[in-house]
Chains A and B, each alone.
Chain A
């Protein structure tokens, strides 16, 4: 079983739609959680951290459920520019912070 699993998609949504991505992780000792965004032929970039209390950044909301070991990302009012791959990321303290990426969920937002 992979340590971090995501639905690969692709998700095809119209502009203005709300879309949600889920991600599950297997190691209950995982301590830090993030969502990254990767555009085609570019390196991944940090989108937002995920906190236990949930957190929001504009149209983006991230939530963590430690009991069920999943994290989610909600995008409201989707824009064309949101089209990208969204990567779920988990860090574990093993002396250093081992950082594991999910395979990513591809999102296409269409006009």
Chain B
């Protein structure tokens, strides 16, 4: 079974903090994704990566950056957390198409 692991299920951070969300997959997948999910808006793509050190902006990259130094790990960085970044963050990985998800990180910025 594919395993995608996100480092935290729940996280509370203060406004202005730098936040790191970590995601690791164990299936040697090329593609990895970060989404955020909000009520009524569904899943929105923040960034994705199709290879080590490669990254592409999704639909809502503002306020976020990513890092992919190793194939199995894809990190999402909130440079200066704001309250409008309170959301459920979902990481996914994919061999070529479709996606397998981690369990999600519910981030609250206060």
Binding site for B on A (CB under 8 A): 3, 8, 31-32, 34, 42-46, 49, 87, 89, 91, 94-104
**Contacts A8-B40, A43-B90, A95-B56 hold; do A100 and B45 have CB atoms under 8 A apart?**
yes
Q: Which residue of B lies closest to A32 (CB)?
A: B97
- In order of increasing CB-CB distance, the 4 nearest A-B pairs are A96-B50, A103-B42, A43-B101, A32-B97
Q: Which residue of B lies closest to A99 (CB)?
A: B99
Provide a sorted-by-A list of 20 A–B residue pairs whose CB atoms are within 8 angstroms. A3-B59, A8-B40, A32-B97, A34-B98, A43-B102, A43-B103, A44-B101, A91-B94, A91-B98, A96-B49, A96-B54, A97-B96, A98-B45, A98-B48, A98-B58, A99-B31, A99-B92, A99-B97, A99-B99, A101-B43
- For residue B60, give the distance in angstroms from its CB to the closest CB of chain A: 12
- For residue B38, give the distance in angstroms from its CB to the closest CB of chain A: 10
- Tell me, yes or no, whether B69 is within 8 Å of chain A by CB: no
B43 surroundings in chain A (CB, below 8 A): 44, 87, 101, 103-104
- Count contacts between A and B, CB distance < 8 Å: 73
Q: Are A95 and B45 in touch, CB under 8 angstroms?
A: no
Q: Are A97 and B94 in touch, CB under 8 angstroms?
A: yes
- For residue A36, give the distance in angstroms from its CB to the closest CB of chain B: 8
Q: Which residue of B lies closest to A91 (CB)?
A: B97
- For residue A49, give the distance in angstroms from its CB to the closest CB of chain B: 7
